[in-house]
Structure 1
């Protein structure tokens, strides 16, 4: 069983509060860390979450606003001070390369590991393709002149369930032949052909996690996030601040919930809350009036994403 956990390191919008840091989300897939945004001081909660300093790590930036990127340099320096040796791949809009490298130069940061900075081009596509999962991206809407992206972590389909009882009834030797059947490969045993479909059920979907970044809701994002097991979407404002949300290219809790419902997601988690809200129940209640399977993120909250079957 491959673990898939989401850890929220920062859940506030624009400015931190006494109990909420700036934007940062970690998807921990069986020890591989996929980090989305790096708000100022994010390494503090990274340390508190005990995520580890020398694990395979990729960093994805949604857009180049200060509350989403100012933590990059401190994070890299902290990893170096802890003796990290593994390289890190960093993905984001075009100016990200200049921002990171120029600040490393100006601040005389000495890294103990290699960083590889990748510029995102186009409106959507596959950004990373690993053996068992991919990272997809889609352009989002965060205002004129702002290049912003949403991301999805999408696992490959899994093999169907193996009918061990039927395999034993057919006297198929355990070991390599079981493995071949599980992979969908027909086998020959004792001069008989055994089809994988006789032993293995239909392939089962992997898991899908969507992360919005800062954005207005849109049809493109609705399609992009379709059937997510977990959708993490910004909910900066309540419905009373709809005009403010539109002016600043953010979303309200009700708009977020409406998108989640249309996209047929399984579970919605709200984040990126304006500091004006001391009691976030108003946002939760608004969202749940449209999409009940909604919850609030908070700093250091961990959400486990399980397989559907």
Structure 2
């Protein structure tokens, strides 16, 4: 089962005709996660043909408007579409107060439960886990409390070696799951078929790291080590490093340094200042350090591998 990332929005604070503030839709092991929810996110979800009912977990990096102002409207639309199952919202302390205040003042009736997971730790912690996927925070250094997130597939099942299995009539379809889980198979005469003979190695697990607004921060490197794809903000080019530091942001050069040090396979830049008309200058700068650097495209779906 493949994992896919859809870029819904990637520019900084101000929406433009062709781009939207930060929001991403991640499909991993048949789970569906929304990462940040800037203004206009639900329109972008519509354009991407994402069924709203699939989204049960929303991860907000921080409470600056370009990362969360789309959330009240999206939740209101959930209600209008008849949602009745719980919605999990992960974000900084204060996100519950923000949303509940808006719902109270606007007399917005939801009809479903919102389960808030408010975050305040300055170290990486596991905040979500099921039998296939786990999610950890990536503490960042912005002007206000901010986390990135790393999404990891768990170790996958082994692949059946059907050319070998077909040699033994005693092995039935109902035995396949145990074999995929790594168990040996005992024949009626007592002979044990080792699992290594009946299976091949599983596909390697996929990981994706989302580093939202942050100053250059080497602390993230061990957390995101060896991820398949890293999204890292790069609001400015390196000739404006002083401005980046002052405003709590990173340069393209610095994002590439992080990617190289963490040995990631692919780097996607984002959160560009509107002062730049031609975004290719970001990859020009970053590829000097990390050649596997790419620009996002609105509504582009990327296979994580």
Q: TM-score range by the shorter chain?
A: over 0.9
Indicate whether 1:181 and 2:179 are aligned. yes
CA distance in 2, matches of 1:234, 1:173: 52
2:151 maps to which of 144, 150, 153: 153
Deviations 1:47-92 (A, max 9, x none): 1111112124211111111111111111111222222222210011
Report the more deviating stretch, 196-205 or 14-23.
196-205
Deviation per residue, 1:247-302 (Å, 9 max, x gap): 11111111111111111111111111111111001001111121111111132121
Give the Cα–Cα distance (whole angstroms) in 1 for the partners of residues 167 and 303 of structure 2: 37
- The reply to whether residue 259 of structure 1 matches residue 255 of structure 2 is no
1:57 aligns with 2:51: no
| Aligned match of 2:299 | 300
- Aligned residue for 1:127? 127
Matched, 1:168 2:170: no
Residue in 1 that maps onto 2:242 = 243
> 1:29 corresponds to which residue?
28
| Contact 2:233–2:249, Cα closer than 8 Å, also in 1 | yes
Q: CA RMSD, aligned part only? A: 1.6
Q: Say if 1:141 and 1:148, in contact at 8 Å, map to a contact too.
A: yes
CA contact (8 A) 1:54 1:85 kept: no
For the residues of structure 2 that align with 1:121 and 1:170, how far apart are their CA atoms? 56
1:231 Cα deviation from its structure 2 partner = 0.7
Unaligned runs of 5+ in 1: none
Distance in 1 between residues matched to 2:40 and 2:58, nearest whole Å: 15
TM-score, reference length from structure 1: 0.93
Q: TM-score when scaled to structure 2?
A: 0.94
Deviation at 1:171, TM superposition (A): 4.9
Q: Deviation digits for residues 168-210 of structure 1, max 9, x if unmatched? A: 3355523133322211112211221122123223444210000
**Cα deviations by residue, 1:1-37 (Å, 9 ceiling, x for unpaired):** x232111111111211221111111102365321111
Is the partner of 1:214 in helix, strand or coil?
Answer: coil
Task: Describe how 1:208-247 pairs up with structure 2 within 5 A.
Answer: 208-247=207-246
Query: CA contact under 8 A between 1:55 and 1:86: conserved in structure 2?
Result: no
Q: Distance in 2 between matches of 1:10 and 1:204?
A: 30
Q: 1:79 maps to what in 2?
A: 78
Shift of the alpha carbon at 1:103? Answer: 0.9
Q: How many residues align?
A: 303
- Residues of 2 paired with 1:258 and 1:218: CA distance? 10
1:63-142 equivalences in 2 (<5 Å): 63-122=62-121, 123-142=123-142
Q: What SS class does the counterpart of residue 84 from structure 1 fall into?
A: coil
SS of residue paired to 2:76: helix
Is 2:34–2:55's contact at 8 Å kept on the other side of the alignment? no
Unaligned runs of 5+ in 2: none
